[in-house]
Amino acid sequence: MPESFVQHDIRESFYSRLDDFVARHAGDAKSFALLIVNINQFRRFNTYQGYRLADELLAAFAAYLANVARPQDYIARIGNADYAMLLPDIHNEGHASLAAIKLIENLKEPLVVSQSPYRITANVGIALYPQHAEDGEDLFKCAELALNDSRNSLQSYSVFTNRQQPVEVYDWNIENDLQKAIEKDQFDLHFQPQIDLCSGRLFGVEALIRWHNGERGFIRPDVFIPLAESSGQIVEITQWTLNSALWFLQSWPRELAGMKVAVNISTKMLSEADFADMVANAVGIYGVDYSQLTLEITESALVEDVSTSFRILGELRSLGLNISIDDFGTGYSSMSYFKGIPATELKIDQSFIRHVLDNQMDEHIVQTVIQLANGFDLTVVAEGIEDQETFDKLNQMGCDIAQGYHIARPMPRDDILHWVEHYRATHGASEGKIETADNASTDAAG
Ligand code: G
Ligand code: G
Ligand code: MN
């Protein structure tokens, strides 16, 4: 039996094998690599396809690893969706990276499970003996840190570097804590107002998720959303966000009825077959009007898989929902998409708004996007407005809606209700000038 035959080892026997490897390589300047390979979305596969198929997937994956490995490599399953590989005679990072690239590239061919093809992706963390650590336990830690780094940075593999060490978040089982956050209700929505540039009327609010973890304090969504995306937990989080936003909408005081709430929707949700049903169900439960809910999808998500995203968004659009293209200008979408874009709104990315006063190129881009939006009958929103001059400039350029710290920061539910009350009482007299004195309310995570 070649060593690369996959042993469904418990962790302990892997650790002793790792120690053997270290003992065998100690002193004679020979090096080897430890790779930890994690199957993405395995938990979801288990949930949706059932454990029988999941077990077959594991068997197919193990066979796959054995097939790409050399005879002298050792492979073991060390966790639910984790495999470790010990690769002798790997002398440097480049050599180890090549092994990881080979493994990842060949996975582009779908695995056949129960006669059906399944596309599997994996992340790989790499550590080298003796360069990164001189004992098994530390080497294992380095490979785990590299694996986390690869997931956080959305790269398919990562080689351990010292910079991965001090950052606490790498050393943290964030998935576990995310699960607890869902169960223990640690998420909160903050709301940032959007106003009509021309009339000054309140247009709606954007809901932004906040996570307060008891031990680690506030964790930014740009840290945990990508992790939730790769673990599959994004589905539950999106469900939570939609429900909370709709609950908020339904609880508006009567005079605010008709206000819109915008929810950010992760790219990953567009590949959920039942996403449109999920949204329709949630709207049904709260009895709000479809036209009061806006789904914000980043432009880059939209162009990743145009036919799928257009189809799903078209479905949602036909229900009467608003679809906003977020971070517009950063996704390199082709002008030809505009003919069929199932959207109602464009949000010009903050990076263009920031320099609209002092950079002519950005001014041109903003003006072009406004014209484009007008031509296709889309509402155009500028986000990231931080001063009155920018606000005035955008108004003069014909932009419809404004959002940004200059108007107000995202704030908790009770604060936004007060803010809106105050705003409505005063904005009539302010003639397009935004009063900033009263909206000092700060966003805890912002
Ligand atoms: O609030 P700000 O730091 O708050 O948000 C950072 C990023 O996180 C933005 O890109 C924003 O779109 C995204 N984001 C905020 N709330 C949510 C949410 O509920 N779901 C998803 N998918 N992304 C969110
Ligand atoms: O990707 P998306 O457009 O959803 O991101 C919204 C993000 O922009 C949130 O993190 C929100 O807190 C932030 N934001 C909102 N207004 C401003 C602003 O005026 N300036 C800056 N720097 N960030 C802002
Ligand atoms: Mn947004």
pLDDT at 3: 47
Give the model confidence (pLDDT) of 346-402 as tens digits. Answer: 999 998 999 999 889 899 999 999 999 999 999 999 999 999 999 999 999 999 999
Ligand nearest to the CA of 294: 3
pLDDT at 429: 44
Tell whether ligand 2 has an atom less than 6 A from the beta carbon of residue 329.
no
CB 306 within 8 A of CB 277: no
273 phi and psi angles, rounded to 5 deg: -60, -35
CB 261 within 8 A of CB 292: yes
Give the model confidence (pLDDT) of 66-116 as tens digits. Answer: 999 999 999 999 988 999 999 998 888 888 998 999 999 899 889 999 999
Give the model confidence (pLDDT) of 246-276 as tens digits. Answer: 999 998 877 677 789 999 999 889 888 899 9
pLDDT at 168: 45
Tell whether ligand 2 has an atom less than 6 A from the beta carbon of residue 384.
yes
- Beta-carbon count within 10 A of 105 CB: 11
**pTM for the structure as a whole:** 0.66
Q: What span, in angstroms and rounded, lies between the C-alpha atoms of 394 and 382?
A: 8
Q: Which atom of ligand 2 is nearest to the CA of 445?
A: 12
pLDDT at 200: 92
First to last CA, the chain: 57
331 phi and psi angles, rounded to 5 deg: -100, 0
Q: Would you say residue 209 has pLDDT above 90?
A: yes
Closest CA to 294 of 265, 255, 270: 265
Ligand nearest to the CA of 402: 2
Helices (H) and strands (E) in the chain, counts: 15, 16
Burial of residue 426 (number of CB atoms within 10 Å: 0-12, 13-18, 19+) = exposed
